[in-house]
Amino acid sequence: MAVAVAKRRKARGLGNERIREALVGYGFIALPMAFFLLFFFVPVIYAVYISRYDWQIFKGPFVGWGNYRKLYHDTVFWHHAVRNTLVYAAFVVPLQIALGLALAVVVNQAIRFRTFFRAAFYFPSLAASAAIASIATYILASDGLFNTILNHLGYHHNNAWFTQETTALPSIIGLNAWTTSGTMMLFYLAALQAIPVDVYEAAAIDGAGAWRTFWKVTFPLLKPAHFFVLVVSIIGALQMFDQSFLIGGASGGPNYSTMTVVLYLYNQSIKNISFGYGAAIGVVLFAFIFTVTLIQRLLFGKPEVA
């Protein structure tokens, strides 16, 4: 019916009305578009511009690729920030995906309280990272709940997990695998529910058990979801900031063991007030994330959850 009305109007040639509609349309989107232009697109160009100057508190001389060259030779950046970020991603991505998939499969069973379980598993993803990080610090303190349990089980561990160079980053990995698994679960759940029931019926008639059905039927059918979850997870991991900032502080302590790329960017820009250098780090990170996304798009098409 709407189409018919529109056609009739077009036929009558209500030119004024169409111009009015267009003007109103521009008016309604004017504020949002101005906002996106000013706070998203202008900053991209401005970031590249800033990165070409020796810009401390005030704008200094033009240095061309100077900041990028400096970054190329920056050992703290490569040996700590990049290394930690890659180690973090290498462990947290498979962990949170596996955990998320396992939770999704269990929650997808036709049983009671599934809404409750889904909520319980998802909630850690929604709680403030600052609160979660504090709670984790307390639980992983030298005399905290975790060490108390370990000692009862006969494993004596009396150091605070976040203050030791060797255990700080692994602890953050464990923490974030836990909190993010709920989000991954929801992605997988949407995909699981899109699998038609008769696929399972066919598998059951063939006499396949639950385990076999999962690996032979469910897992391959989830392929689009795997790719989507993988990319979301990788991009999220490359942007890790909150937990390092909250637990290791702006300097990514102890001894840079929790320093990440984004924390280093924050540290250089806001703490050291090296805006030119900070902008260069931002541009490099953006280029890297953009490449990851682009590769995914080229290989697997646009992301699809359900």
Partner 1 sequence: MSTEQLPDVPPVAALDELAIEGEAAKGTPAATTGIPGRERGERIRTAIAYIVMFGVAILFAIPFLWSVSTSFKPIEETVAGFSLLPKHWTLSGYHEAFHTFNFGRYTLNSAIIAGAITVSNLFLASLGGYAFARLKFPGREVLFLLVLGTLMIPDQLRLVPIYLMLVNWIPGWVGHIGWHDASFVNRNGVILIQLISAASLFLMRQYFLTIPRDLEEAAKLDGAGYFKTYRKVMLPLAGPALAAVAILTFQGAWNGLFWPAILLQDKSQYTIPIGIANFRFAYTTLWPPLMAASVLAIVPILLLFIVFQRYFVAGVAAAGVKG
Please say which residue, 137 or 167, places its beta carbon nearer to partner 1: 137
Q: How far apart are CA 6 and CA 242, in angstroms?
A: 51
Phi, psi values for residue 301, rounded to 5°: 75, -170
Distance in Å, CB of 62 to partner 1, minimum: 16
Distance in Å, CB of 73 to partner 1, minimum: 21
Write the DSSP assignment of 216-267 as a string of letters: IIIHHHTHHHHHHHHHHHHHHHHT--HHHHHHHTTTTSSTTTT--HHHHHHI
**How many angstroms separate the Cα of 105 from the Cα of each of 62, 157, 217?**
56, 35, 13
Please say which residue, 75 or 143, places its beta carbon nearer to partner 1: 143
Distance in Å, CB of 47 to partner 1, minimum: 5
Distance in Å, CB of 226 to partner 1, minimum: 14
Please say which residue, 169 or 283, places its beta carbon nearer to partner 1: 283
Write the DSSP assignment of 15-59 as a string of letters: HHHHHHHHHHHHHHHHHHHHHHIIIIIHHHHHHHHHTTB--SSS-
Distance in Å, CB of 82 to partner 1, minimum: 14
The tally of CA atoms less than 13 A away on the side-chain side of residue 16 is 0
Give the distance between the most distant pair of CA atoms in the chain.
Answer: 86
Please say which residue, 173 or 262, places its beta carbon nearer to partner 1: 262
Q: How far apart are CA 143 and CA 148, in angstroms?
A: 7
Q: What is the torsional sign of CA 215, 221, 222, 227?
A: positive
Please say which residue, 161 or 245, places its beta carbon nearer to partner 1: 245
Distance in Å, CB of 61 to partner 1, minimum: 17
- Token duo for residue 293: 């996304």
Phi, psi values for residue 259, rounded to 5°: -70, 130
Residue of 91, 235, 105 lying closest to 177 (CA atoms): 91
Please say which residue, 80 or 118, places its beta carbon nearer to partner 1: 118
Please say which residue, 169 or 203, places its beta carbon nearer to partner 1: 203
The single-letter DSSP state of residue 272 is S
The single-letter DSSP state of residue 81 is I
Distance in Å, CB of 40 to partner 1, minimum: 4
Please say which residue, 165 or 206, places its beta carbon nearer to partner 1: 206
CA angle 116, 171, 255 (to 5 degrees): 150
Distance in Å, CB of 210 to partner 1, minimum: 6
